[in-house]
Structure 1
């Protein structure tokens, strides 16, 4: 059973986080201290500096040679099971791709860094902080990368289907998003830019150009040509042969996503997104330093450590402050409807192994960036933060019986 001292330790860890969040909320909603533009600047600072340096601090202090393999394996297994279930539901038509991705986010990606580490440390001691750091490492390096890949796949599918409605949705793997990456989208050339030419072997060659809409913004070799050779029946002649060959060629376009060329394109798109994310650098550099530091017992130079800690120490409070600003800028707390809210909360607080923790902020950032059910993820973040503490205490009391 939970004791009074244990309950107080939890309050000491959690209440300051809520104080920062409430102050930010009141600064916008009640006192009008910050404008929406200023809130955007604060959120940008948190995303670019505070949270990445906070992540680096925890990851660099984690001993990679002394990780709890069983704990990490159990967490990874849960995520794999949810991903597999979401994939089956999507393949059988039980869920759209948007809901499959969102369900994976809700069930597997909690707020381990900002809320999880201080909360579980107060409950179970310092050793739990080490476990949370291990989850943070895998979440940043592996699972957020996978989530980003799924969003890029979905964006590519939507782009190509918009230009070629006859394509099979499950076979679309090319495309990019100009709104999220700052570049113009790579597109498949319209039908009038495809040409069919004759070859000496009584076949037709269909030329399809994959080009960038703004050629001046990318290297010259960004435009690629994919050539398909389609056999032509010699029994037909004249215009009939041309039409038959063209139809066969157009049908063969559904095989294009199986080629290495378009697979390479989508991998390049994902890579562009990753190298633009400061959290990627903080996670990788933190891992490299921890491998070096704990292998040869090398301490970080004090001048470097102080330069990092001056911002990372403020990262936790600034992250919570950013959540409060985001909550205040929303027209209403629950913006996705009652049914979607119930579903998202059930996925968050029942399915996940760390169900007591609120939804991860990064998952909402991705959802908003790609416009994939952002209201559902925002409700998960906001509502999760509001009820995370009582839910956590309930779990803690039940597990302590």
Structure 2
């Protein structure tokens, strides 16, 4: 049972971050300190500097040799199953789309384990569950965040090439197919998918193009190689990989990180969560309403986040054979509120950030 002291510990972990969010909201809504360009710059800083250092700090301080294989397997199975279902939904239904697949996948598998999960579950189930939660966080940063970056980069590439590139088979590609032509395309926005719910997407993906457009050719292989190259160069990928490498080395041979490096990483790591919440507050303050996406999308996101995700996690955990505290931990962590890092990515790539700002 949770005591008042435990409840206070939960609020102690959560309130400072929401103070940062409300200050950011007021700085835009009331005080008008930041311009939209400055808000985008702050989010850019969080995405490219703060989060990579946060990922490195968390991963490098976690022992990769002490993992619960069943728990990790159940968590991985849940995410893969959800991804498979969403791919089928986006591919074979008239209201499905790639950008909504990314958003729903993000809502389904990225809970706020670090900020809310650990302070909440520690008094409920003790220290036994904390190691499991940390393993989930590490897996998110090492595996699933790079996968999200791949999906977002693929979406960005498709949007950029829409109206510019005609895809061909590799065998039909000539010399001129390797070169991108500089074509100026003027789009008139008309009910883009980011403005609609999935059920409204059937006739909302059209864009009016003014003027003639030349369609150079590009292969699907080149597209994926371009996306992979961008993800490999992303600072988040470096932070996760270097953190895992250092964790393997330090816990294998009991080597401590030099204090200068540790403190340098810690300073930027601490800013990660705070600045992410600050960026969220800036976005909310720049909207006409606090709930920018509307009631329908809020209901959809809540159903996906709190019901669908935890249900699939329960099924996978039981199928793997997880019982007791581990099963309860798995289900509850899957039903936690949305992680703030997902909003930072959505804002950076401009894919349904209004949905993830309220989830």
TM, length-normalised to structure 1: 0.65
Aligned twin of 1:32: 32
User: Which residue of structure 2 aligns with residue 49 of structure 1?
Assistant: 49
- Confirm or deny that 1:6 pairs with 2:25: no
1:270-291, Cα deviation, whole Å (9 max, x unpaired): 2232134222111111000000
Spell out the pairing of 1:275-354 with structure 2 (5 A cutoff): 275-353=232-310, 354=333
Structure 1 position 34, deviation (Å): 3.6
Residue 74 of structure 2 is aligned to residue 98 of structure 1: no
Alpha-carbon distance in structure 2 between the residues aligned to 1:8 and 1:98: 39
Change (3 A) 1:45 1:87: closer
Q: Distance in 2 between matches of 1:162 and 1:47?
A: 29
The one of 164, 174, 177 aligned to 1:209: 177
CA deviation after TM superposition for structure 1 residue 378, in Å: 2.6
TM-score, scaled to structure 2: 0.72
Residue 355 of structure 1, CA deviation: 4.3
* Residues 340 and 318 (structure 1), Cα distance of their counterparts in 2 relative to 1, 3 Å cut: closer
1:380 aligns with 2:356: yes
CA deviations 1:5-34 (Å, max 9, x no partner) are 322222222222222222222222223344
Q: 1:136 to 1:36 in 2, by over 3 A?
A: same
Deviations 1:209-228 (A, max 9, x none): 2312359xxxxxxxxxxxxx
Closer, same or farther in 2 for the Cα pair 1:207/1:289, shift >3 Å? closer
The superposition leaves residues 61-90 of structure 1 with CA deviations (integer Å, 9 ceiling, x where unpaired) of 100000121221111111111111112223
Structure label with greater radius of gyration: 1
Evaluate the alpha carbon distance shift between residue 136 and residue 270 of structure 1 in structure 2; reply closer, same or farther with a 3 A threshold. farther
Rounded to whole Å, the distance in 2 between the matches of 1:2 and 1:114 is 17
Distance 1:153-1:310 versus aligned 2 partners, 3 A rule: closer
More contact order relative to length (CA 8 Å, sep ≥ 6):
2
C-alpha distance in 1 between matches for 2:282 and 2:272: 15
Go from structure 1 to structure 2 and tell me whether the alpha carbon gap of 1:96 and 1:46 turns closer, same or farther (over 3 Å shift). Answer: closer
Structure 1 residue 298, shift from structure 2 partner: 0.6
Q: What SS does the aligned partner of 1:62 have?
A: coil
- 5+ unaligned residues in a row in structure 1: which ranges? 175-187, 189-193, 195-204, 216-255, 385-401
